[in-house]
Structure 1
Amino acid sequence: MHDPDRFLCSLFAPPERREALFALVALNHELARAREAASNPVAALIRLQWWREAIEDAAAGRPPRRHEVAAPLHAAIADGALDVAALLAMVEAREIEAEEEGIATEQDFVAWLRGTAGGWSAAAGLALGATVERAEVLRALGAAYGLAGALRSVAAHAGQGRCLLPRDRLAAAGLQAEALVAAPDSAGALVAALAGEGLEALRGARRDVPRAVIAAALPAVLARRDLARLAQGRPVAVPRGAAARLAVMIAGWRGRV
């Protein structure tokens, strides 16, 4: 499993809903690696378009595409277990990653987080029976997990020649994307500041979600732990230790994040 965090969270979904969430986890992984696996931005957009069409094929009742992820995704869509509009929004949110100049503003950065990691939590919530209003609560919780992921991956992205931090916040910190790619440690203070802001926002966010949709909210448990460490300038362990997994399991059993 390429996304052990969300896979673990999905185990707390009702048994009859887990396969749909597993398909959603797999789709999100494919979308997240579209730019990483592509040789150039245009190729990344072509990959995203392929997934957009795969989703539309399933919605229109056309045969599934021959792909290990597309087939179960097609089945989940055909069964009505996944919301097509939510899936297409996840695809669209990834397009900014293919822009060579990166993410321009903090507003764009927040929209990206809400559409990608937040989009997964919202789509998962809808699959679990959440109302549209409740799905937006889940979106905010998922975005916090996305922020933690972006911040803990600064060095990994730099190794790929990429920087996903917003250029306006970089400039305010006296940094440039190119310099950060060359020396990712130079972003330490900015990473800590963004983590602190994200942690404060998460503390003030609504976390009262019904037990039935708790699986979609559980990434916030990991976000809280990760952002707290990053705000203190401490690294996040990869792979995760037993304490992090236990925190998710306890929250899942208790039905609250």
Structure 2
Amino acid sequence: MTLEACTESLRQHDPDRFGAVLVAEPQDRPALVTLYALNLEVARAPFQSAEPMLAEMRLQWWVDRLEEMGRGTAPPLHDVLTPLWEAWGAEAGGLAALAEPRRRDCERQPFATPDAVARYVEETAGQLMWLAARRCGATEGAREVVAHQARGAGLAAWLRALPQLQAVRLGLEPARPEDARVLAEQARDGLRMAARMHRKLPRRAAAALYPGPRVPRLLSEIMAGRTDPFEATTAITPFQRRASLARLALTGHWWR
């Protein structure tokens, strides 16, 4: 049970974070890889059964293992938990917070308002980015900056995935274009606020704050009404992804 399984999972299912990890400082990569692999698992758990109770049982399994690790108990051999324990130790207990907001996903509850989406993103993407940033040298004084960046990056990712979320009743109901524009504006404002305060973060934290490729373009297209995120969003090409990551690697600039 090594980091290779976690790395391969990221490469296949979360290519933007996979790429960001590659440009992280070597000492930070094990913690980031295992954190992001865990995030994939808890995000997928609610979809492993169409029955809400069974889905929540699968999610609870992860919560229980993480809480055991927090009490100092090593996990059973596992592709994700074993390297996670090696990288995080008893601190892994605090990662159970990543699973709690996913309980609503087990119930297939759509969101009724943009504010409800924003709260969910704060509890999921926001927590994840803060945990990653802390392991990459961010101090408590930078928490506000990370929160702004997480709001922008998290809402953009949610909007990009909206067609798939609508299909499983985890999007917005009713599906109002004006609500999507509100979310895009909130995301843009979050990214702008984070950019203004970027000096509070060390360059080492760049990998943890990377928002993904072509985020400002996506948000501007939604706000201008050129893209309806309920129907489809523009796909990211391999070239665009590589170019964005090359910029991150060369400059360390995670802000836009």
Between the two proteins, what is the percent identity of the paired residues?
31
Matched with 2:29 is 18
Structure 2 residue 137 is the aligned partner of structure 1 residue 120: no
Deviates more, 1:24-33 or 1:42-51: 42-51
* 1:212 aligned partner, one-letter code: R
Matched with 2:98 is 90
1:85-164 to 2 correspondence within 5 Å? 85=94, 87-160=95-168, 162-164=169-171
Alignment partner of 1:33: what SS?
helix
Q: State the shift of 1:68 in Å.
A: 1.5
Aligned length: 235
1:140–1:83 CA distance, 2 compared to 1 (3 A): farther
Q: State the shift of 1:100 in Å.
A: 4.2
Query: Which stretches in structure 1 are left out of the alignment for 5+ residues?
Result: 171-175, 181-186
1:244–1:224 CA distance, 2 compared to 1 (3 A): farther
Distance 2:187 2:250 in 1: 25
Matched with 1:68 is 79
* 1:249 aligned partner, one-letter code: A
- Decide which of 231, 240, 244 is 1:243's aligned counterpart: 240
Distance 2:46 2:237 in 1: 25
Deviates more, 1:243-252 or 1:233-242: 233-242
Q: Deviations over 1:129-150 (max 9, x none)?
A: 2212324422331232221122
Structure 1 vs Structure 2 CA RMSD: 2.5
* 1:153 aligned partner, one-letter code: A
Q: Deviations over 1:32-80 (max 9, x none)?
A: 11222222222232222111122122222223234311221122221x6
Structure 2 residue 207 is the aligned partner of structure 1 residue 207: no
Matched with 1:226 is 218
Asked if 2 retains the 8 angstrom alpha-carbon contact of 1:195 and 1:227, the reply is yes
Q: Deviations over 1:79-134 (max 9, x none)?
A: x6x5642x122112222323444334443322211121122111101111221232
Query: Which stretches in structure 2 are left out of the alignment for 5+ residues?
Result: 1-10
TM-score, normalised to structure 1's length?
0.80
Asked if 2 retains the 8 angstrom alpha-carbon contact of 1:20 and 1:76, the reply is yes
Q: Deviations over 1:171-212 (max 9, x none)?
A: xxxxx2xxx5xxxxxx44542342133213322333332101
Structure 2 residue 203 is the aligned partner of structure 1 residue 217: no
Distance 1:164 1:69 in 2: 28
Structure 2 residue 55 is the aligned partner of structure 1 residue 44: yes
